[in-house]
Amino acid sequence: MISSLTGFGRASYTDETGRVSVELKSVNNRFLQIDTRLPYGYNWADGQLRQYVSNAISRGKVYLNLEIVDYNPNQDVIINKPLLNKLIALGDELNSNTGKNLPMALDGLLSLPGVMKVDSKEADNEELWNRIEPVLVEAVKSFVDARKREGENLANDIKSHAEVMRKTIAKIEELIPEFKANFITKFTERIKELAGQAGFDESRLGMEIALWVDRSDVSEEIARLYSHLKELDNILASDKPVGRRLDFLVQELNREANTLSSKINDFAITQLALDLKCEIEKIREQAQNIE
């Protein structure tokens, strides 16, 4: 199935220890570029995150945001009890000396420098990754599915333009015999008019007409256009990344349309050839959005 280069996916998991969230979004890019935004202390996960995303997609500029909220089961609260006892004793002494009951709140004492600190033990990266990975898997699946849905819309739009091209080529085929007949009639009349009946050479006229017919023959171009459109159907039915193949095919379609229009000097056919090139350009614009 065709995938778009743009997409969005998000997943999160919350339990009593906190929340893990992974968010991905992508925009067009010729190659795969992954930009990660990680919480402090999680740089060790950068390579694993990039590897997983690169296994899922091949092109696009991807922004990955990992968010870890209130998750650190390895934190310890350390109280400097000797210092705390000294502060409490100092408070009692002041109360005794002044004869007043001076307020002394525990939260105030704990906020004093050196009384309490929160210490984090060295975390087990494997354990942390086991928590992150399921969320990453879900987010990437959502992200890839979004790209596929958008890719399906792009493929349907390209198919509609390809169908218009087939109808346009068929119209050109219908007009070519009439164009050739009209040219031969007018060419013959003009030659007879200029040369006069006495000096008219039938064999030379036939040779000139044969040369013109050969130069204006577009049967090969039409056959190649049909062949390229058939290949376009095959590409759109592929389940592999096809963006680069599609870019190349669009170039070939445009080349054949240009050659066809340059060979035939007829207003109606030229207009149809321009219509062909307009449809090819629309396909090219959509192809730039496909992985």
Please, where are the H alpha helices in 196-266? 202-215, 219-236, 243-263
Q: Nearest Cα to 116, choosing from 91, 87, 90, 74?
A: 87
For the chain, what is the mean pLDDT? Answer: 86
pLDDT in tens, 220-270: 899 999 999 999 999 999 888 899 999 999 999 999 999 988 888 888 888
pLDDT in tens, 58-115: 999 999 999 998 766 566 778 888 888 888 888 888 888 887 787 777 778 778 888 8
CA distances in angstroms from 132 to 12, 18, 66, 125, 227, listed in the order given: 9, 12, 9, 10, 49
Q: Pick the more confident residue, 120 or 254.
A: 254
3-state SS assignment for residue 142: helix
Q: Taking a C-beta distance cutoff of 8 angstroms, is the pair 144, 4 a contact? A: no
Q: Model-level pTM?
A: 0.72
Q: Nearest Cα to 287, choosing from 258, 244, 255, 226?
A: 244
Token pair in block for residue 21: 């969230």
Give all domains of the chain, ordered by start, each with its CATH number: 7-72+123-147 (3.30.230), 75-120 (no CATH), 148-287 (1.20.120)
Give the start-end residues of each E strand in the chain: 7-15, 18-27, 32-37, 60-69, 75-79, 116-120
